[in-house]
Copies of this chain bind each other. A is one copy, B any other.
Amino acid sequence: MRDVPFARRPITINPVNSPTPGQCGDCGARHIGLCDALTDEDLGFLARVAQRVVISAGKTFIDEGTTANHFYDITQGDVRVFKSLADGRRQITGFMGVGHFIGLAVSGQYAFSAEAITDVKLCRFDRGPLLEVFAEFPALERKLLDVATHEMVIAQEQMLLLGRKTAIERVSSFLISWSERSDPYPDGTSKTSTVNLSLPMSRTDLADYLGLTTETVSRSFSQLKRDGLISFTDVHEVTLLKPQRVAALTAGEQ
Protein backbone atom coordinates (compact mmCIF):
# COMPACT_ATOMS: atom_id res chain seq x y z
CA MET A 1 0.00 0.00 0.00
CA ARG A 2 2.08 2.90 -1.23
CA ASP A 3 1.54 6.47 -0.16
CA VAL A 4 -0.17 8.86 -2.50
CA PRO A 5 1.78 12.13 -2.65
CA PHE A 6 0.08 15.15 -1.20
CA ALA A 7 0.94 17.64 -3.92
CA ARG A 8 -1.84 18.30 -6.40
CA ARG A 9 -1.46 16.47 -9.63
CA PRO A 10 -3.39 16.49 -12.88
CA ILE A 11 -6.60 14.55 -12.68
CA THR A 12 -8.04 12.60 -15.55
CA ILE A 13 -11.06 14.46 -16.78
CA ASN A 14 -13.83 12.53 -18.41
CA PRO A 15 -15.81 14.96 -20.53
CA VAL A 16 -18.78 12.64 -21.02
CA ASN A 17 -21.66 13.19 -18.65
CA SER A 18 -19.41 14.99 -16.20
CA PRO A 19 -21.59 16.93 -13.80
CA THR A 20 -20.45 20.47 -13.23
CA PRO A 21 -20.41 21.83 -9.69
CA GLY A 22 -23.56 23.64 -10.67
CA GLN A 23 -25.23 20.35 -11.45
CA CYS A 24 -24.06 19.01 -8.11
CA GLY A 25 -25.87 21.87 -6.46
CA ASP A 26 -29.10 20.48 -7.87
CA CYS A 27 -28.29 16.95 -6.78
CA GLY A 28 -30.63 15.28 -4.36
CA ALA A 29 -27.66 13.89 -2.50
CA ARG A 30 -25.65 17.12 -2.39
CA HIS A 31 -25.97 17.50 1.36
CA ILE A 32 -26.14 13.93 2.56
CA GLY A 33 -23.75 11.77 0.58
CA LEU A 34 -20.04 11.89 0.21
CA CYS A 35 -20.36 15.32 -1.36
CA ASP A 36 -21.47 16.85 1.90
CA ALA A 37 -17.87 16.66 3.06
CA LEU A 38 -16.80 19.31 0.56
CA THR A 39 -17.55 22.98 -0.04
CA ASP A 40 -19.28 23.98 -3.29
CA GLU A 41 -15.91 25.26 -4.38
CA ASP A 42 -13.99 22.04 -3.79
CA LEU A 43 -16.81 19.91 -5.15
CA GLY A 44 -15.64 20.73 -8.65
CA PHE A 45 -12.69 18.41 -8.23
CA LEU A 46 -14.97 15.58 -7.28
CA ALA A 47 -17.38 16.35 -10.10
CA ARG A 48 -14.63 15.94 -12.67
CA VAL A 49 -14.23 12.27 -11.91
CA ALA A 50 -17.96 11.62 -11.71
CA GLN A 51 -20.51 10.35 -14.20
CA ARG A 52 -24.26 10.26 -13.91
CA VAL A 53 -25.72 6.81 -14.40
CA VAL A 54 -29.33 5.65 -14.63
CA ILE A 55 -30.29 2.10 -13.68
CA SER A 56 -33.78 0.75 -14.24
CA ALA A 57 -35.62 -1.21 -11.59
CA GLY A 58 -34.39 -4.76 -11.13
CA LYS A 59 -31.05 -4.28 -12.88
CA THR A 60 -27.77 -5.35 -11.32
CA PHE A 61 -24.99 -2.78 -11.38
CA ILE A 62 -22.43 -4.37 -9.06
CA ASP A 63 -21.58 -8.04 -9.37
CA GLU A 64 -19.99 -9.88 -6.47
CA GLY A 65 -16.50 -11.06 -7.35
CA THR A 66 -15.90 -8.64 -10.20
CA THR A 67 -13.14 -6.03 -10.18
CA ALA A 68 -14.07 -2.98 -8.14
CA ASN A 69 -13.65 -0.21 -10.69
CA HIS A 70 -16.20 2.26 -9.37
CA PHE A 71 -17.66 3.96 -6.34
CA TYR A 72 -21.29 5.02 -6.40
CA ASP A 73 -23.35 7.64 -4.64
CA ILE A 74 -27.12 7.14 -4.88
CA THR A 75 -28.89 10.30 -5.92
CA GLN A 76 -32.33 8.81 -6.53
CA GLY A 77 -34.14 5.56 -5.78
CA ASP A 78 -33.40 2.53 -3.61
CA VAL A 79 -30.87 -0.25 -3.92
CA ARG A 80 -30.44 -3.70 -2.41
CA VAL A 81 -26.94 -4.92 -1.54
CA PHE A 82 -26.54 -8.66 -1.12
CA LYS A 83 -24.40 -11.75 -1.14
CA SER A 84 -25.37 -15.09 -2.66
CA LEU A 85 -24.47 -18.71 -2.21
CA ALA A 86 -23.85 -20.98 -5.18
CA ASP A 87 -27.22 -22.70 -4.74
CA GLY A 88 -29.12 -19.44 -4.94
CA ARG A 89 -29.65 -18.64 -1.29
CA ARG A 90 -29.37 -14.89 -0.88
CA GLN A 91 -28.73 -12.56 2.03
CA ILE A 92 -29.50 -8.88 1.57
CA THR A 93 -27.04 -7.01 3.77
CA GLY A 94 -28.65 -3.63 3.36
CA PHE A 95 -31.14 -1.39 1.62
CA MET A 96 -29.47 1.80 0.42
CA GLY A 97 -31.27 5.03 -0.40
CA VAL A 98 -30.47 8.54 -1.54
CA GLY A 99 -27.11 9.75 -0.26
CA HIS A 100 -25.75 6.31 0.44
CA PHE A 101 -22.27 5.54 -0.71
CA ILE A 102 -21.52 2.11 -2.20
CA GLY A 103 -18.37 0.52 -3.40
CA LEU A 104 -15.78 0.26 -0.65
CA ALA A 105 -13.83 -2.89 -1.36
CA VAL A 106 -10.72 -4.73 -0.31
CA SER A 107 -8.35 -6.62 -2.55
CA GLY A 108 -9.83 -4.92 -5.59
CA GLN A 109 -12.97 -7.02 -5.80
CA TYR A 110 -16.53 -6.34 -4.80
CA ALA A 111 -17.58 -8.64 -1.97
CA PHE A 112 -21.26 -8.06 -2.73
CA SER A 113 -23.72 -7.41 -5.52
CA ALA A 114 -26.02 -4.43 -5.87
CA GLU A 115 -29.34 -4.12 -7.73
CA ALA A 116 -31.80 -1.31 -8.28
CA ILE A 117 -35.08 -1.86 -6.42
CA THR A 118 -36.75 1.15 -8.04
CA ASP A 119 -35.40 3.11 -10.98
CA VAL A 120 -32.16 4.53 -9.67
CA LYS A 121 -29.85 7.43 -10.45
CA LEU A 122 -26.25 7.14 -9.43
CA CYS A 123 -23.22 9.36 -9.33
CA ARG A 124 -20.40 7.09 -10.44
CA PHE A 125 -16.73 7.69 -9.65
CA ASP A 126 -13.83 5.95 -11.27
CA ARG A 127 -11.77 4.32 -8.60
CA GLY A 128 -8.30 5.45 -9.57
CA PRO A 129 -8.96 9.14 -10.05
CA LEU A 130 -11.17 9.26 -6.98
CA LEU A 131 -8.38 7.87 -4.83
CA GLU A 132 -6.25 10.76 -6.04
CA VAL A 133 -8.93 13.23 -5.08
CA PHE A 134 -8.99 11.63 -1.65
CA ALA A 135 -5.30 12.30 -1.27
CA GLU A 136 -5.99 15.98 -1.83
CA PHE A 137 -9.03 16.26 0.38
CA PRO A 138 -8.52 14.38 3.62
CA ALA A 139 -12.00 15.54 4.63
CA LEU A 140 -13.33 13.04 2.11
CA GLU A 141 -11.38 10.21 3.60
CA ARG A 142 -12.61 11.16 7.05
CA LYS A 143 -16.17 11.26 5.75
CA LEU A 144 -15.68 7.83 4.25
CA LEU A 145 -14.40 6.55 7.56
CA ASP A 146 -17.52 7.94 9.22
CA VAL A 147 -19.66 6.21 6.62
CA ALA A 148 -17.83 2.91 7.08
CA THR A 149 -18.04 3.16 10.86
CA HIS A 150 -21.74 3.86 10.72
CA GLU A 151 -22.28 0.93 8.37
CA MET A 152 -20.40 -1.26 10.80
CA VAL A 153 -22.76 -0.26 13.61
CA ILE A 154 -25.75 -1.13 11.43
CA ALA A 155 -24.14 -4.41 10.43
CA GLN A 156 -23.59 -5.40 14.05
CA GLU A 157 -27.20 -4.58 14.81
CA GLN A 158 -28.24 -6.77 11.89
CA MET A 159 -26.04 -9.65 13.08
CA LEU A 160 -27.82 -9.47 16.43
CA LEU A 161 -31.13 -9.58 14.60
CA LEU A 162 -30.14 -12.50 12.37
CA GLY A 163 -28.49 -14.51 15.08
CA ARG A 164 -30.78 -14.00 18.02
CA LYS A 165 -34.18 -12.46 17.25
CA THR A 166 -37.53 -14.17 16.58
CA ALA A 167 -39.53 -13.60 13.41
CA ILE A 168 -41.85 -11.01 14.94
CA GLU A 169 -38.89 -9.21 16.52
CA ARG A 170 -37.12 -9.12 13.17
CA VAL A 171 -40.07 -7.64 11.33
CA SER A 172 -40.73 -5.12 14.10
CA SER A 173 -37.06 -4.15 14.18
CA PHE A 174 -37.14 -3.59 10.45
CA LEU A 175 -40.22 -1.38 10.64
CA ILE A 176 -38.69 0.74 13.39
CA SER A 177 -35.30 1.12 11.73
CA TRP A 178 -36.94 1.87 8.40
CA SER A 179 -39.05 4.56 10.07
CA GLU A 180 -35.93 6.07 11.65
CA ARG A 181 -34.12 6.20 8.33
CA SER A 182 -36.30 9.03 7.09
CA ASP A 183 -36.96 10.55 10.49
CA PRO A 184 -35.18 13.90 10.71
CA TYR A 185 -35.35 13.84 14.52
CA PRO A 186 -34.21 10.34 15.52
CA ASP A 187 -34.57 10.32 19.30
CA GLY A 188 -36.60 13.47 19.48
CA THR A 189 -40.11 13.43 20.88
CA SER A 190 -40.98 9.81 21.48
CA LYS A 191 -43.29 8.67 18.71
CA THR A 192 -46.87 8.73 19.92
CA SER A 193 -48.53 9.58 16.62
CA THR A 194 -48.85 7.26 13.64
CA VAL A 195 -46.10 6.93 11.04
CA ASN A 196 -46.52 6.27 7.32
CA LEU A 197 -43.82 4.26 5.59
CA SER A 198 -43.37 3.23 2.03
CA LEU A 199 -41.66 -0.10 1.47
CA PRO A 200 -40.25 -0.15 -2.05
CA MET A 201 -38.86 -3.66 -1.72
CA SER A 202 -40.73 -6.93 -2.29
CA ARG A 203 -41.64 -9.43 0.42
CA THR A 204 -38.92 -11.67 -0.99
CA ASP A 205 -36.40 -8.87 -0.50
CA LEU A 206 -37.60 -8.41 3.06
CA ALA A 207 -37.32 -12.14 3.72
CA ASP A 208 -33.79 -12.22 2.34
CA TYR A 209 -32.90 -9.21 4.47
CA LEU A 210 -34.37 -10.62 7.68
CA GLY A 211 -33.22 -14.22 7.27
CA LEU A 212 -36.82 -15.48 6.94
CA THR A 213 -39.13 -16.75 4.20
CA THR A 214 -41.74 -14.61 2.44
CA GLU A 215 -44.46 -16.63 4.17
CA THR A 216 -43.09 -15.86 7.61
CA VAL A 217 -42.70 -12.15 6.78
CA SER A 218 -46.30 -12.11 5.59
CA ARG A 219 -47.56 -13.93 8.67
CA SER A 220 -45.68 -11.52 10.94
CA PHE A 221 -47.23 -8.52 9.19
CA SER A 222 -50.65 -10.17 9.51
CA GLN A 223 -50.13 -10.69 13.22
CA LEU A 224 -49.17 -7.03 13.69
CA LYS A 225 -52.29 -6.08 11.73
CA ARG A 226 -54.48 -8.38 13.81
CA ASP A 227 -53.09 -6.80 16.98
CA GLY A 228 -53.90 -3.35 15.66
CA LEU A 229 -50.29 -2.16 15.60
CA ILE A 230 -49.99 -1.54 11.86
CA SER A 231 -52.21 -1.27 8.78
CA PHE A 232 -51.63 -1.42 5.05
CA THR A 233 -53.18 0.97 2.55
CA ASP A 234 -51.28 -0.84 -0.18
CA VAL A 235 -48.87 -3.77 -0.14
CA HIS A 236 -46.02 -1.27 -0.20
CA GLU A 237 -47.52 1.34 2.11
CA VAL A 238 -47.65 0.61 5.81
CA THR A 239 -48.81 2.75 8.71
CA LEU A 240 -47.46 2.25 12.20
CA LEU A 241 -50.59 2.79 14.29
CA LYS A 242 -48.79 2.20 17.61
CA PRO A 243 -45.11 2.92 16.93
CA GLN A 244 -44.19 2.55 20.59
CA ARG A 245 -45.79 -0.86 20.87
CA VAL A 246 -44.03 -1.97 17.69
CA ALA A 247 -40.77 -0.68 19.15
CA ALA A 248 -41.47 -2.72 22.28
CA LEU A 249 -41.54 -5.86 20.15
CA THR A 250 -38.03 -5.33 18.78
CA ALA A 251 -36.47 -6.65 22.01
CA GLY A 252 -34.81 -3.25 22.11
CA GLU A 253 -31.13 -3.33 22.84
CA GLN A 254 -30.37 -2.40 26.39
Alpha-carbon distance between A141 and B147 when the two chains are bound, in angstroms: 13
Copies of this chain assembled into the complex: 2
The one of B1, B104, B145, B162 that contacts A159, using a Cβ cutoff of 8 Å:
B162
Do B253 and A85 touch (CB < 8 A)?
A: yes
Q: Is A211 an interface residue (CB 8 A)?
A: yes
Do B146 and A145 touch (CB < 8 A)?
A: no
Do A85 and B164 touch (CB < 8 A)?
A: yes
Give A205-224 as 1s and 0s: 1 = Cβ < 8 Å from B's Cβ atoms. 00010110000000000000
Interface size on A, residues (CB 8 A): 50
Q: Is A55 an interface residue (CB 8 A)?
A: no
Give A158-180 as 1s and 0s: 1 = Cβ < 8 Å from B's Cβ atoms. 11101111000000000000000
Minimum C-beta distance from A105 to chain B (A): 7
Give A73-115 as 1s and 0s: 1 = Cβ < 8 Å from B's Cβ atoms. 0000000000111110111010000000000111000011000
Minimum C-beta distance from A216 to chain B (A): 13
Alpha-carbon distance between A170 and B111 when the two chains are bound, in angstroms: 19
Do B141 and A141 touch (CB < 8 A)?
A: yes
Name A's B-contacting residues (CB within 8 A): 1, 3, 6, 64-65, 83-87, 89-91, 93, 104-106, 111-112, 135, 138-139, 141-142, 144-146, 148-153, 155-160, 162-165, 208, 210-211, 251-254
